A and B are shown apart, each in its own frame.
Chain A
């Protein structure tokens, strides 16, 4: 099934076979959605942002060289899309009230998952307090499972900086999380 690599598909798109983008969409839209969801905590916004990334891949297809990994290039675009959207309106640091209510209702009803649900809730809040620089490296590393060198390429920073940021981000989260925990 996966005989065609992402890179070769994207190179075909670049050569004018735009329909190959459909396969790339199937392979990556979920992961991208996850990235945006962890960054914004808003479902609808995240879906729009994902579409925007695929649109930019089409529009800027000539900038894909095929030298690096497709995934790195994709997250590089994703990060820019998020940046632009933050500049236009305040996508970050904003809870969707309905989604919040859903979470709480779900947590109160489900006895078994209550504890974990609470943990997740605390973490959500703790993550909101991180700077976007810290949050993005943490999300890319924890949820998107990118290696440090991939993150470095996607964000145009050095591997050393990635390492430091991930470490600090987790450290901050730990402080916040423990603080929230003890307040229960």
Chain B
């Protein structure tokens, strides 16, 4: 082989050493490079140096991301869902700031929540790695942990719902969609929000959350009572809708007295008259 040919080949090979290292060569090109390396000392040196750097890069340590990341992600997801529902748009910086300001004072809840998730992961892991563990025991463990997660969600919801920021309260209400068995405390907190929250959007989302528990007689009763309290036309209309959907005949009286209210919006008036007709 002539020297010039060899030089050109060397340039060509050098251009492919990186591709060899990061597996971007076809098998043919790969063996081509390897064949050349056997004979060419110069390229061998070049390759050894590249490889040294490549391997040293592999030694660079990446720290473990913190456990709170997962909690923050779910908080972000919940808030995102709630805000989409309520028709709000928040910037990410906005969201992150709020989630973080929440995360700091609530660290104990967050930590407990993370630990539960870890425990849940462990139970699932032990199940997959040791198939001998009895299915019933496993299910019991899962049930117990799932119950605790539910409880934790209730706690988070309760701690958030009195937050001064409407976004936080929206998020709190959002948690209830994941609470299957709402206890009295949760229901009570939801009603307090429905009847007193200064923000109409928060009240609307809360109303929607409460209708999930419409089977509960106390909830139905509370919703009827709320008719007399609401002053926003939007919430009044939404409540009237809920009454019709639930076919709550007990609400007719409350709806009638609402009609007698002064400065009742015309739209609302029509809506309520229609609702009374639908119910009787």
Chain A residues within 8 Å of B, Cβ to Cβ:
18-19, 21-22, 25, 29-30, 33-34, 37-38, 43, 46-48, 50-52, 54-56, 58-59, 116, 119-120, 122-124, 141-143, 145, 147-148, 163, 166-167, 170, 173-174, 177-178
Contacts and interface: CB of A to CB of B under 8 A. Distances in A.
Interface stretch (B30-38, B51-59, B152-160): B51-59
A47 B69 contact: yes
B74 A22 contact: yes
Given A19-B77, A37-B63, A55-B76, 18 more contacts: A18-B77, A18-B80, A18-B84, A25-B70, A33-B62, A47-B66, A52-B92, A54-B77, A55-B80, A59-B80, A116-B56, A120-B59, A120-B60, A123-B53, A142-B54, A142-B57, A170-B18, A170-B21
A19 B78 CA distance: 9
Contacts, number: 102
B104 to A, nearest CB: 13
Given A21-B77, A22-B74, A52-B92, A167 B62 contact: no
B150 interface: no
Contacts of A173: 53
Contact of A116 (B19, B59, B63, B81): B59
Given A52-B96, A142-B57, A170-B18, A18 B73 contact: no
Contact of B50 (A21, A37, A174): A174
Contacts of A177: 52-53, 56
Contact of B65 (A50, A123, A142, A148): A50
A159 B73 CA distance: 34
Contacts of B111: none
B105 interface: no
Interface string B78-89: 001100100000
Nearest to A103: B61
27 contacts: A18-B77, A18-B80, A18-B84, A22-B74, A22-B77, A25-B73, A29-B69, A30-B65, A38-B60, A47-B65, A47-B66, A51-B76, A52-B96, A58-B77, A116-B59, A119-B59, A123-B53, A123-B60, A124-B60, A141-B22, A142-B22, A142-B58, A148-B19, A163-B24, A170-B21, A170-B54, A177-B56
Contacts of A145: 22
B48 to A, nearest CB: 11
Contacts of B52: 177
B205 to A, nearest CB: 16
A51 B72 contact: yes
A120 B61 CA distance: 8
B69 A51 contact: yes
Interface in B26-52: 49-50, 52
B62 A166 contact: no
Given A147-B24, A166-B22, A48 B60 contact: no
Interface residues of B, number: 35
- Counting chain A CB atoms within 10 Å of each CB, the highest count among B23, B49, B57, B69 belongs to B57
Interface in B162-198: none
A96 B76 CA distance: 26
B217 interface: no
A21 B59 CA distance: 31
- Counting chain A CB atoms within 10 Å of each CB, the highest count among B19, B53, B72, B96 belongs to B53
Given A120-B56, A167-B18, A56 B92 contact: yes
B15 interface: yes
B82 to A, nearest CB: 11
B124 to A, nearest CB: 10
B139 to A, nearest CB: 19
B68 to A, nearest CB: 8
- Counting chain B CB atoms within 10 Å of each CB, the highest count among A25, A55, A122 belongs to A55
Interface in B80-110: 80-81, 84, 92, 95-96
B69 A178 contact: no
- Which 6 residue pairs spanning A and B have beta carbons closest together? A33-B65, A119-B56, A55-B92, A167-B18, A120-B60, A141-B22
A54 B53 contact: no
B73 A170 contact: no
B90 to A, nearest CB: 9
